[in-house]
Amino acid sequence: MALRHAVLAALLDGEFSGYQLAKAFDVGVANFWYARPQQLYAELTRLERDGLVAGREVPQDGRPNKRLFHVTEAGLAELEAFTAASAKPAFVRDDLLVKVQAADRVDVDDLVAQLSERARIAQAKIDLFENLLHRLRGERTETEFLRHGDRVGPYLTCLRGVAFERENRDWCTRTIAVLEERRQVHARH
Amino acid sequence: MALRHAVLAALLDGEFSGYQLAKAFDVGVANFWYARPQQLYAELTRLERDGLVAGREVPQDGRPNKRLFHVTEAGLAELEAFTAASAKPAFVRDDLLVKVQAADRVDVDDLVAQLSERARIAQAKIDLFENLLHRLRGERTETEFLRHGDRVGPYLTCLRGVAFERENRDWCTRTIAVLEERRQVHARH
DNA sequence: CCGCTCATGTAACAGGTTACATGATTTA
DNA sequence: TAAATCATGTAACCTGTTACATGAGCGG
């Protein structure tokens, strides 16, 4: 059960409503996890029931009220415990890899189309993450910020996100190149 | 439902038993997916029921009989259809990232311990994948193999696997360095 | 007036994990 | 003689996804 810890970690940066969290966890702006709104509302309910987060109703005019959540002492303790427990290694589990695995037996055009779409999405994420990194470190250089900034967690996870998406993009373009070239080689015989 | 396609893709390289597939999907040697033995046996049963794979009983002496499976025509068609359909982007979903996100609020020793363990695992996978790459391309150079080899799918997915684990390892070591340095900076005040 | 954003959910289902079971043979 | 490998599963459970619901205000 790690979504709950992901939510706790996200709430370390301040108070957020379910809706705000949903937006962050949706596109992957919260680059360290991903979840649907429904899941978040459900999880927040459970977290509150267990006393790991507390919410306060904030009335708004012209809009529905919202509930802003923050982590409690018990929540922090839970995060500590979670961090101490060992994590099993993560692996890539990607439809696109399955398709490429079958590359020699399926339609190359389909594959190339999907690979370039994926490269495009990866690039979009890179831009997004790099913006976020810039916002986080402000005027400081990266080294400076990582040494003296008072909250580097989100920055570090974001670095992982950028690296992942760069790899993703580069692998896609390279794979496209390989498939295209093989098609030409094939055509000559 | 993508495990079924992952299994089909894995069976493109020949006949395998449930046990053999389980070994491949277990550690992540099948770098493009991951699954437990139970899941594989269940999936193979379904795949056979749906006519996408066919198995033949192979008697062995001194060992239990095994069933070797191969992809049928219908199975290939299914893979084609799957490839044509669009895939949703994959994302990183990793306990360790959640922990690092909370870095400023949890025990640094725990974190560093887990990061170095992870770096170690990543290195082991890199070695494993690089061996596999070498086996696949034989005496040829990579460029040569990718241009003229007759089955490049597994090679391409393996390249993705190596790149991922390299990123993983490097990010871990860098994160450790950052955390260690901050600890020193902190200690001086 | 249509669609978007804010705001929060329920219900059914698909997929994956954990725990457990069985039984023979080879290796340390 | 204990542990690992070969070989195949069942059952209960947890997590995540899909589809659907509600309702107010705001912008074009």
Contact B5 A171 (CB under 8 A): no
Helix (H, G, I), strand (E, B) or coil at B175: helix
Nearest to B32 by CA among B134, B169, B168, B163: B163
pLDDT reported for residue B182: 97
CA distance B123 to B118: 9
Contact A106 B79 (CB under 8 A): yes
Structure tokens at B34: 């991951």
Structure tokens at B156: 């391409």
- Closest CA–CA distance from residue A61 to any residue of chain B (Å): 34
Listed in sequence order, the residues at least 6 apart from A158 whose beta carbon sits closer than 8 Å to its beta carbon are A31, A129, A132, A133, A136
- Smallest CA–C1' distance to D7, residue: B64
Residues B131-145 have pLDDT tens digits of 999 999 999 999 999
DSSP state of B85: S
pLDDT reported for residue A185: 85
**Contact yes or no for B17/B66 (Cβ under 8 A):** yes
Contact A107 B88 (CB under 8 A): no
Query: Can you name the residues that pair with B16 across neighbouring β-strands?
Result: B69
Residues A92-133 have pLDDT tens digits of 889 999 999 999 999 999 999 999 999 999 999 999 999 999
Which residues of chain B carry a pLDDT beneath 50? none
Nearest to B126 by CA among B41, B36, B29, B43: B29
User: Mean pLDDT, 10 residues at a time, over chain A (189 residues)?
Assistant: 94 96 88 93 96 94 91 97 90 93 96 96 93 96 97 96 96 98 86
Length of chain B counted residue by residue: 189
B175 touches chain A (CB under 8 A): yes
Query: Phi/psi of residue A142, each to 5°?
Result: -60, -50
The string over A97-120, giving b where at least 16 C-beta atoms fall within 10 Å of a residue's C-beta and e elsewhere, is: bbbbbbbbbbebebbbebbeebbe
B150 touches chain A (CB under 8 A): yes
pLDDT reported for residue B180: 97
Amino acid B133 reads L
**Separation of CA A127 and C1' C18 in angstroms?**
40
Residue ranges and CATH numbers for the domains of chain B are 3-84 (1.10.10.10), 95-188 (no CATH)
* pTM summary value: 0.95
Query: Can you name the residues that pair with A16 across neighbouring β-strands?
Result: A69
Q: In B, residues 66-105, which contact A (CB 8 Å cutoff)?
A: 76, 79-80, 82-84, 86-105
Nearest to A158 by CA among A120, A128, A122: A128
Q: Is the CB of B38 under 7 A from strand C?
A: yes
